Amino acid sequence: MKENSLIHQFVDQIIACSDYGPMDRRYLINQILGLVGEEQTQNEHQTLPTDMLGLKDELVERAVQNHKIESHFGARDMLGAQLMNFITPAPSVVNQQFWTRYNQEGPKAATDYFYKLSKANDYIKTKSIQKNIYFTSATEYGELEITINLSKPEKDPKQIALEKAMPGSGYPLCQLCMENEGYIGRINYPARSNHRIIRLQLNNHEEWGFQYSPYAYFNEHCIFLSAKHEPMAISMNTFRRLLSITDKFPHYFVGSNADLPIVGGSILSHEHYQGGRHDFPMAKAPIETRVQFKSFEDVKAGIVKWPMSVIRLASRNKDSLIELAAKILKAWRHYSDEAVNVRAESNGEPHHTITPIARRRDVLYELDLVLRDNQTSMQHPQGIFHPHAELHHIKKENIGLIEVMGLAILPPRLKSELHETAKYLLDEKNAIKDYHLPWANELKRRHPERNSANIDAIIRQEVGKIFKRVLEDAGVYKRSKEGHSAFIRFIDTIGGTIHADNQE
């Protein structure tokens, strides 16, 4: 085996950025040979990548050629994670390194270490994330953010067939369980050999974990997960935990998806929160109607200028904030107002919950409480406060935490579909989908100035307008005089009064 061979270069990288030393070289070579097979004769003119992820990808290709693995994504993902596990310290070492930095240099230094490791070992799929399409759209609520999610690879038919044939395992119970750490994966379950979880305690010595999201939607997108596999539940304890996390990581926001179907997240079976270092459009939105709650004089409050129905609370006193948030949640769970189609329950099924988001503003704790209602009707079978049918050509999925805050996560189909829509608008030969035609014809009417130079900007701005309408559909109290009056009626029931100046 030549000294400049693929495996030798990969081993050089392992030794350079891990605890392995020169004495471990032969051991590492043999371990990798066992995973990818014997090296074939290398083309002398072949130029190998110089970065570790590139070398890893070449080794995966070598394993396919050597028939050590199948060629589908699942097998490639598992082998790639095993190869990157060579540079990933053991969980105990990662935790020791994290908390040493935390105690000596502060929270930011600790998360910087863990984030850098999670990118370097390919747990965070940086190469895939770069494929996502991202842009902003100006609205009366500020600059909304749009991403067309192209990072998660599509499964090929062979893998789909293999997944159907595989029996259920039941281990790990879900993708947010602690048991995922180091799990090799299987055809129908993601590889986690290179996965590490930081252990931490919240509140009364509750065991929790902290990790980054493999397919991040924003900067340092992270997940806080309970050590117990138990369902999502919004309660006073949720607010206590969220603010506790902001104490530990004051440079991160943290929020929870709601705990009911339609308005909740994609995983309701495991208690978890999402956070990160990103200033979302909703966080930048101002309070437009100031409110004072009785017996909570130390809490600044108000209705946020946002398409969804948001009450913002801020205080130095964390306990006051938690108590008031719990009072609002309890009231909302049982509140109905038939005049604006707001119902707490129907046939014993609860409809009301809250999407909460916590952050620090210097010495102030801040909580945004987004009122949610998951009713359905004959007219809106997928949800009354959900994207309505005329918007489904762009967005029909649930509106979860990230989108509530102003970042749209749109399906990958739109990359090609919007391209065909642009050709239709320019009267070129196209393959536009029928469900885009009403929208596209409206754009033709509204944009006579369209041309090949400005068409992409026009479409992006119009997609932003669709997302704004999506959020308005999801808003319980509409942005109207009637909606505002109804919002105030709810606030009245929990001892809230409007400030005379009515401005922040």
Summarised one tens digit per residue, pLDDT across range 425-444 is 999 999 999 999 999 999 99
Residue in 400, 439, 140, 454 with CA at minimum distance from that of residue 257: 400
Percent of the chain with pLDDT over 70: 94
pLDDT at 504: 44
Confidence of residue 371 (pLDDT cuts 50, 70, 90): very high
Radius of gyration for the chain, computed over Cα atoms and rounded to the nearest angstrom: 25
pTM recorded for the entire structure: 0.93
pLDDT at 501: 64
Measured over all CA atoms, what is the biggest interatomic distance in the chain, rounded to whole angstroms? 81
User: What's the rounded mean pLDDT across residues 308-312?
Assistant: 98
pLDDT at 204: 77
User: What's the rounded mean pLDDT across residues 160-167?
Assistant: 60
Confidence of residue 457 (pLDDT cuts 50, 70, 90): very high
Confidence of residue 41 (pLDDT cuts 50, 70, 90): low
**Residue 175: both structure tokens together:** 């993708």
Percent of the chain with pLDDT over 90: 87
Residue in 409, 315, 302 with CA at minimum distance from that of residue 358: 315
pLDDT at 155: 55
3-class DSSP assignment, residue 100: helix
**Residue 160: both structure tokens together:** 């789909």
Give the Cα separation of 427 and 92 in Å (integer). 61
pLDDT at residue 54 is higher than 80 = yes
pLDDT tens track for 239-256: 999 999 999 999 999 999
Burial level of 114, CB count in 10 A (0-12/13-18/19+)?
buried
pLDDT at residue 69 is higher than 80 = yes
User: What's the rounded mean pLDDT across residues 344-351?
Assistant: 93
pLDDT at 234: 96
User: What's the rounded mean pLDDT across residues 318-339?
Assistant: 97
pLDDT tens track for 84-123: 999 999 999 999 999 999 999 999 999 999 999 999 999 9
Give the Cα separation of 212 and 222 in Å (integer). 4
pLDDT at residue 404 is higher than 70 = yes
Burial level of 163, CB count in 10 A (0-12/13-18/19+)?
middle
Continuous segment of H or E residues that includes residue 129 = helix 126-129
The residue that leads in pLDDT, 343 or 5, is 343
Residue in 297, 285, 289, 287 with CA at minimum distance from that of residue 502: 289
pLDDT at 503: 46
Burial level of 172, CB count in 10 A (0-12/13-18/19+)?
middle
pLDDT at residue 81 is higher than 70 = yes
**Residue 244: both structure tokens together:** 């506790």
pLDDT at 500: 61
**Residue 60: both structure tokens together:** 């995966």
Yes or no: say if 374 and 259 are a contact pair by the CB < 8 Å rule: no
pLDDT at residue 44 is higher than 80 = no
Give the Cα separation of 124 and 212 in Å (integer). 7
Confidence of residue 154 (pLDDT cuts 50, 70, 90): low
pLDDT at 5: 87
Confidence of residue 499 (pLDDT cuts 50, 70, 90): confident
Say which DSSP state 371 is in: E
User: What's the rounded mean pLDDT across residues 273-302?
Assistant: 96
3-class DSSP assignment, residue 277: coil
Measured CA distances, 413 to 237, 352, 390, 420 (Å)? 39, 32, 17, 11
pLDDT at 265: 73
